[in-house]
Structure 1
Amino acid sequence: MSQSRKIIHQGNPILSQKSLPVENIQSPQIQELISELIDTTLAANGVGIAAPQIAESLRLFIVASRPNPRYPDAPLMEPTAMINPHIIEHSQEVVKGWEGCLSVPNIRGLVPRYQWINIEYTDINGEIQQCQITDFIARIFQHEYDHLEGILFVDRIESDDDLFSEAEYQKLIS
């Protein structure tokens, strides 16, 4: 039975390592890990989570956009496991948008990301999926993909003026 897992925080060395490919997607351990990742992101009011955030250095993350207290305007989608993902192509246009991270609590930042990306990933059934995603969903994907590369959103901040405490961010969006 799956359950929520403990989220590790900035400073843990796993978060700065490049993750390993998932070899056997159909294994009970990987399927259970996917369930635990979904439960963890939902319990924490996240819109995505990567395996390294629960101390599993594997190329796997969940994109689970939905309105919640942390992201009240997020679009609604079913939680989707993306295994061994790749960005195939991306827009030239880069847009700054608000991000936070379950592994970097109480901090928000304006992070530059591609407006759209063409992606490829393996789904929970072992099938290759390709699609184009845009806007907030593309932002989630890029944020989670960075976790697989050992990069945190604060590493992408262009200026200290783009970093805010959670309290200041809440004042700005209210």
Structure 2
Amino acid sequence: MTKGDFKKLFDEHFEQVRSYLFFRSGDTELATDIAQETFLKIWEKQHFIDETRVKGLLFKIANDLFASYYRKEKRSFEFFKHYKPEEKSSTPEEALVFTQMKENYNQALERMPEKQRTVFLMSRVDQLTYNEIAEMVGVSVKAVEKRMKLALNFLRTSLRVNE
């Protein structure tokens, strides 16, 4: 792998790897750090890489690094700790309703099992196809479909209870 090939690989996949890690961690800085470390590992092992399967390898390494980080640190997960979407409303009443809905949604995402949350956010936020998610996460498309179905049912149930 030449420097040019590596740069192309980095340019094509860095944002996807970072987004995947953000969906898992809820921390932009951590996601960026682990994504950079993932590409460092790829650079170090470049002689042993099958370039046709490098995308799956990227996500496998990123996943392993993420799991290792949390095993070492033993931190609790707080999704959207630093994430604040832009709020636009025309009246104070709409702002209150939006704030309540956002809180209920974020609480439901925090309670959602990690595997379901990851697939849900990759699909809805990053707008990835089930095939792309399956490749990144390292599971079958059927597993992605099942996780998405469970995530949607979880949200539907959770948001109905909080109404």
Give TM-score scaled by structure 2 length: 0.29
Between structures 1 and 2, the one with greater helix share: 2
Give TM-score scaled by structure 1 length: 0.28
| Higher radius of gyration, 1 or 2 | 2
Between structures 1 and 2, the one with greater strand share: 1
